[in-house]
Amino acid sequence: MCGIVGYVGDRQACPILLGGLRRLEYRGYDSAGVAMVMPDGDLAVYKCKGKVDALEKYLDGKATDATIGIGHTRWATHGEPNDTNAHPHYSADGRIAMIHNGIIENYRVLKEALQAHGVVFRSETDSEVLVNLIEYIRTTEGCDLAEAVRRSLKRVVGAYAIAVIERGNTDRIIAARQSSPMAIGIGNGEYFISSDASSIVEYTQDIVYVGDGEVAVVERGKALQVFTLDNQEADIQVTRLDLSISDLERGGYPHFMLKEINEQPRTIVDCIRGRVNPDTGQVILSGIRDNIDRWLGARRVIFVACGTSWHASLIGKQLFESMCRIPAEVEYASEFRYRRPVLFPDDVVIAVSQSGETADTLAAIALAREAGAFVYGICNVIGSSIARGTDSGTYIHVGPEIGVASTKAFTGQVTVMAMMALALGERKGTLSAAQYAEVSRGLLALPDQLREVLSHSEQIADLAKIFTYARNFIYLGRGYNYPTALEGALKLKEISYVHAEGYPAAEMKHGPIALIDAEMPTVAIVPHDSTYEKTLSNVEEVKARGGKVIAVMARGDEMVRRIADYVIEVPSAVECLQPIIVSVPLQLLAYYIAIYKGRNVDQPRNLAKSVTVE
């Protein structure tokens, strides 16, 4: 997804803009650019296809001694990646420059109207239409830039996070957002604008999240002003973040993804801290406790999510049905939002999203709210749009997840879902004291168990080397580990570009077993759980047809060791928490295969960390 940054203050803007863009690289992009208002009032725009490094080289020798500017990393939606389509875009008369994250859905109609008034366009982008619309309104209606932005956005349909600067004004940036994230950092006599707070926290922890339909006037030496598209003053909430720079640095690891995989023993501790009593095992979750009537009166729960969060939701479904005896459904948010789903006021819709900015999930929430359902969020990013757009929720507290492939967020999401199911099941009386104690003790045991799994990383790296040849994989699991198989396959696909499919193990005989041969490895998840014998039979069926099997098995399982070609041992855990344990070696397997194939693990091709467009 595109990333936007802005700065106005007493320091040189260019290094701050470039540093901010680098912190947003994980969002995925194909070109970058900056625009600045020079001390003499001249408006300079520098942009090019490629990474921020290419932009920095391009800037070499250029005038950059400005203290106000905006910057952008572009993830192409309209128009191919090239220098012209890169942002910032500037008006035909060269007087204003703008950066944009989002999609202007009615840009064609607006473009035709502007062309009819003689406006000439350089690029194929929707964003260039908006910057020219702003300039057209400003000049023909004789209003200032902030008012021109407000009037223009009243005519726009779509999603945007924009920042606009103008020739001759070295003090003011106008920013606005609708459905795309934007944070404003308030420093000491300086302001920072960004798509997310991670590129601001090194300068200030005081953050204002601009709301949907709001316009901000960010002016040197003046208090921040925010107003709505209807010209009403908006209230400004300052959030003090407790993020640190070390949270954002690689911490000595070669990639953010490997750092985040290895953080999981600690992030599980952070996730359950204050929620599971280490002495009594008692689970207290305010999101359940404070809304208990809605939870007890729920006709069903419906999870809406995308990607990895959807896999976690499949586990959540089984947790809620087994522990709370409440009907649970899982929907791809992108399908749910267009399907005209039947919803009731006594439904509980649970939106699961690491970034809290996924457009499809946001749209699904809007549908749920329209129907009067109780909407609950399970997010990681504090203050994200989904976190602020739900009735209540639980943060997973795993810290910034920079690697595009979600790892610690997945284990954090499943952990939160298990805590929710325990807390609700106990209140509903659908869980025996023994079951409750077993699962809450299981949660407390997870950090040590994950440390044990991670201590075998080298063996997994060696195993990955053997299978770097493979062009297809199939991942098999049953029950709670069917979603784990899906998640393991997605990890491999998205960072190594090797095709992989997750499948319910029992389904093999209904078709996919025809695929089995020596060229397509099978990763079989065979822990000591209620489906063990059945899954072991599936492994033997694969072996009988010449397939190579990598089995993820309980430590010391000699039966599986005899049958499989390769094994990955994991500690045994209570069945419903097994996915948290098993997913970690699958994350490592995908990581090392991708490394051996020379892939860009943190920024895989075509992918973005947060899919804020539809």
What residues act catalytically?
A: 2, 609
SS3 label, residue 217: strand
What's the burial of 235, exposed, middle or buried (CB within 10 Å: 0-12/13-18/19+)?
exposed
Shortest distance in whole angstroms from residue 39 CB to ligand AGP: 41
The C-alpha atoms of residue 408 and residue 124 are separated, in whole angstroms, by: 38
Q: Residue 405, interface with ligand AGP (CB under 6 A)?
A: yes
Q: Candidates 91, 262, 355, 531: give the one binding ligand AGP (CB under 6 A).
A: 355
Question: Which CB sits closer to ligand AGP, 536 or 588?
Answer: 588
CB 494 within 8 Å of CB 446: no
Strands (E), 230-355: 238-240, 300-305, 328-332, 347-353
Q: How far apart are CA 331 and CA 199, in angstroms?
A: 32
Nearer to ligand AGP, 167 or 397 (CB): 397
When asked if residue 464 is in the footprint of ligand AGP (CB under 6 A), the reply is no
Find the length of the chain: 614
Does 382 help bind ligand AGP (rule: CB under 6 A)?
A: no
- Nearest distance from C-beta of residue 602 to ligand AGP, angstroms: 11
The least CB distance from residue 285 to ligand AGP, in Å, is 20
Cβ 501 to ligand AGP shortest distance, Å: 15
Spatial strand order in the sheet of 522-526 = 499-504, 472-477, 522-526, 549-554, 566-570
How far apart, in whole angstroms, are the C-alpha atoms of residue 563 and residue 547?
A: 11
When asked if residue 260 is in the footprint of ligand AGP (CB under 6 A), the reply is no
Q: With CB under 6 A, what is the number of residues at the site for ligand AGP?
A: 15
**Partners of 44 in the β-ladder:** 36
Q: Choose the stretch contacting ligand AGP; rule: CB under 6 A; options: 207-215, 229-237, 266-274, 347-355.
A: 347-355
Which is closer to ligand AGP, CB of 26 or CB of 46?
26
Residue 358 binds ligand AGP (CB under 6 A) = yes
Q: Residue 361, interface with ligand AGP (CB under 6 A)? A: yes
Stretch that binds ligand AGP, among 129-137, 223-231, 243-251, 400-408 (CB under 6 A): 400-408
Residue closer to ligand AGP by CB (options 198, 308) is 308
* In the complex, residue closest to ligand AGP by CB: 307
196 binds ligand AGP (CB under 6 A): no
**Non-local CB neighbours of 555 within 8 Å, separated by 6+ positions:** 569, 570, 571, 572
- Which position among 77, 179, 353, 496 is part of the footprint of ligand AGP (CB under 6 A)? 353
Q: Please, what is the minimum distance in Å from the beta carbon of residue 304 to ligand AGP?
A: 10
Element (H, E) at 526: strand 522-526
Our CB check for ligand AGP shows the closer of 432 and 600 to be: 600
Which CB sits closer to ligand AGP, 97 or 404?
A: 404
Rounded-to-integer distance, Cα 435 and Cα 212, Å: 44
The helix, strand and coil proportions of the chain, stated in percent and rounded to the nearest 5, come to: 40, 25, 35
Q: How far apart are CA 487 and CA 494, in angstroms?
A: 11
Decide if residue 404 touches ligand AGP (CB under 6 A). yes
ω into 88 cis (within 30 of 0) = yes
494 is a contact residue toward ligand AGP (CB under 6 A): yes
Does residue 31 interact with ligand AGP by CB under 6 A?
no
CB contact at 8 A, 386 and 353? yes
CA neighbor of 591 nearest in space, from 261, 312, 264: 261
Q: How far is the CB of 257 from ligand AGP (least distance, A)?
A: 9
Nearer to ligand AGP by C-beta: 310 or 436? Answer: 310
Tokens of residue 342, six digits: 């039947």
| Contact window for ligand AGP (CB under 6 A) among 43-51, 204-212, 404-412, 460-468 | 404-412
Shortest CA distance to 162 belongs to which of 172, 176, 146, 150?
176
The distance of closest approach from Cβ of residue 494 to ligand AGP in the complex, given in angstroms and rounded to an integer, is: 6
Assess 354 for contact with ligand AGP (CB under 6 A). Answer: yes
Please, which residue, 45 or 608, has the CB nearer to ligand AGP?
A: 608
Give the residue from 438, 379, 384 showing the smallest Cα distance to 409: 379
- Asked if residue 119 binds ligand AGP (CB under 6 A), the reply is no
Interaction residues for ligand AGP, span 564-593 (CB under 6 A) = none
- Strands 43-49 and 328-332 turn out to be unpaired
* Helix residue spans in 155-276 (DSSP H): 245-248, 256-262, 264-272
Nearer to ligand AGP, 264 or 538 (CB): 264
Per-residue binding letters, 280-319, with ligand AGP (x by CB under 6 A): --------------------------xxxx----------
Closest by CA to 603, choosing from 195, 32, 26, 73, is 26
| 611 in contact with ligand AGP (CB under 6 A) | yes
Question: 276 vs 386, which CB is nearer to ligand AGP?
Answer: 386
The one-letter code for the residue type at 521 is: P
Q: How far is the CB of 265 from ligand AGP (least distance, A)?
A: 20
Specify whether the backbone of 251 is left (phi greater than 0), alpha (psi in -120 to 50) or beta: left
Q: Which of 270, 610, 612, 613 binds ligand AGP (CB under 6 A)?
A: 610
As measured in angstroms, the least distance from the Cβ of 389 to ligand AGP is: 13
- The window from 179-187, 255-263, 350-358, 568-576 that contacts ligand AGP (CB under 6 A) reads 350-358
Instruction: Give the span between the Cα atoms of 145 and 150, in whole angstroms.
Output: 9
Q: In what order do the strands lie in the sheet with 225-228?
A: 89-90, 96-104, 158-166, 172-178, 214-219, 225-228
Q: Which residues bind ligand AGP (CB under 6 A)?
A: 306-309, 353-355, 358, 361, 404-406, 494, 610-611
